[in-house]
Structure 1
Amino acid sequence: MGQGDTGRWISPHRLGRSGHQRIRLDPSNAELLGCRLGERTYLFKKYDSDARRQIDGEALDALVGWRTGLPAGQRRRLDAGAAWPHFGVGSPDQPQGVLVPYADPEFLMPNPTGPGLVPRTLGWLVPPSADQPRPRRRPVPLRTKLSVLAEVIDTVLWFHDHDVVVNDVQFENVLFSTQGHGTYFVDCDSMVVAGRIVSPPAAPAYLNEVVRASPGPSRATDFAKIAWLAVWVVLDQPDLLEIPNRLRSGLAGMLRADVAEFLLAAHSAADFGPAHTDRWRRLVREWRRPESSSGAGPGGRSGPPLPGERPGWASPALLDTVLDRLDQAHRVIVGPAADRGVPPACPVAPDQRNLR
């Protein structure tokens, strides 16, 4: 298949620089480059030579094309919740990478160790491991954790309803909103559309350790990983590779015995079926944060601050809106949030987990 056959592939020569530095995705096999295509700003996820040899270009072409084939309303839903590739770079025969959008500023947070903003990944819901450089944070209320997990589950269910397996479900690949409503999935070229795998799975060692003996990515393995994430987040213990009886009892006390039993059973990635899907949907309804009495709705929330929020300080999303209005008032031509120093939503966390 040639480069111009589908309209979904862009020559790298058409990409302009947007002024961003290179971001190496470690331990991934790619780097991120800020770029422009016409008037749009993207991140060019550029595969290294090893990755290019392993990429199934036809599967990647189908993955990019899946988005364009969605009805407009469903495509807006996808774009609001995932950095799905808009274009391939190169050709299906010689894929060099993909162009992905930047995350909305609501999924970013002030950098606790320096200037600027960083992605608010699920990793910020749990304490860092002893060997991680990330600063410690205040404990996150259980109600907030469950609300975020409900949004993660809801998005994964949406993908499953559209015959997409998320595959690489992990702390670093999901961002959550300052408002506590909504999540943003990154590293979407690792997802599996209609059973077609773009490249060999590259799950972190700790997930390979706990989700064993899986024949390949499936809805069951997605939810086995979510079950582990939920246990780690609820118990505030991301280093667990086994769950002793005392912690099982603690989990039951925090979530109800039937919910704890369901999560622990889901770890095995076996015996998955419609009944399990319905149970996950019920968890979304039970855990999702109710609307505040002020009627804030999906865009607002009440309750304790989330990681990265400072009481009395404007959220990144609000600051970005103010900047936009000031720019318009002074007739200053500016780029999107990415061009004002907002870092990209990328599959690299403030910390890289090594749970072995």
Structure 2
Amino acid sequence: MSIIKKDRILSVDDTKDNLILVKTILESEGYDIDSVSNGQAALEKVVELPPDLIILDVMMPGINGYEVTRRIRNNPEINYIPILLLTAFHESSVVEGLDAGADDFIRKPFDTEELLARVRSLLRLKHSIDEQEKMTRQREDFVSRLTHDLRTPLVAADRMLNFFLQEIFCQISPEMKQAINVMIRSNQNLLDMVNTLLEVYRFEAGKKNLNYESCNLITIASEVVSELTPLALEKNLVLKLDTHQLSPTGNNTGIVNGDRLELRRVLNNLIGNAIKFTDTGSIEIRILETSSPHHPSEVIIEVQDTGYGIAPEDQGTIFERFRQGRNKRSGSGLGLHLSQYIMEAHGGKIELSSALGKGSTFTLRLPKKT
């Protein structure tokens, strides 16, 4: 048999009769009531045993209700608690109370039914927010466990497939090697998707730590282009890096403050996508800088392809999570979503320009390190 938890309400008032009245009314409705007579005691009680709702008198000696509200709202260690401000003075500022972080306001002498209605309303709000936070924690836990549990067998399977390909156990036919190579590629694609999902989860949960340092985007782009050139050659595509618009003698040319691995991930994703969705023509990566006395200097990277292009109706949602393109080669819809997170974390942005049949250009803008 499950036990129904009673809502706990903290009543704060420097007048004893008021505390007794509020306690009597609310206990008759089945609520658990804690009562304190000043603001300092209220702050200590909230930390010691957080209530589900606070009914807080505004005019109290020492710390008044406005200040108590502000301190509660400014304490990151206190989860959300609805606050109902209670006052006998008509000149008390509703605006000040709401700006301090209160959720509702009622004047004394109050009508019992109105008080109970406001209490029920704020408790519904509290329960709704608590349920949303619970679902968020469950989702985060699920994603974390799922990605971890998936990665382990995928890595093991990849290792075993490579053993077969190296003929460690026995000799295999060329046809079997070809089939194993297909399995290895599929397995790697799935592992990449799991890793990307884990990175997206870390960003969304605020658990992603970036290691900022001076990064040379020219060097990073050159490395990615060098690694992906064999894929482009397999499709007879021209893959080139253009840096001629950069000043050869400029100070800190192409230098930004960022996480090298994450910026590399963005470029690898954009250039890899360009190769994937281009059958003929070329992929060009251009690096340039902007400089203006009125605007911060930026390092700009453009990744332009001659591929299929993206339909206008898809361009507005292309960076959303799990938003797959209509092309049959589209992946999980996580790569661009993650890339946008990474760019925003670096104070930059990612933009798209595309036309069907004419290719696409993804533009990265990052603040230049001064």
Rg larger in 1 or in 2?
2
The normalised TM-score by structure 1 is 0.25
* Structure with a larger share of its residues in strand: 2
The normalised TM-score by structure 2 is 0.24
* Structure with a larger share of its residues in helix: 2
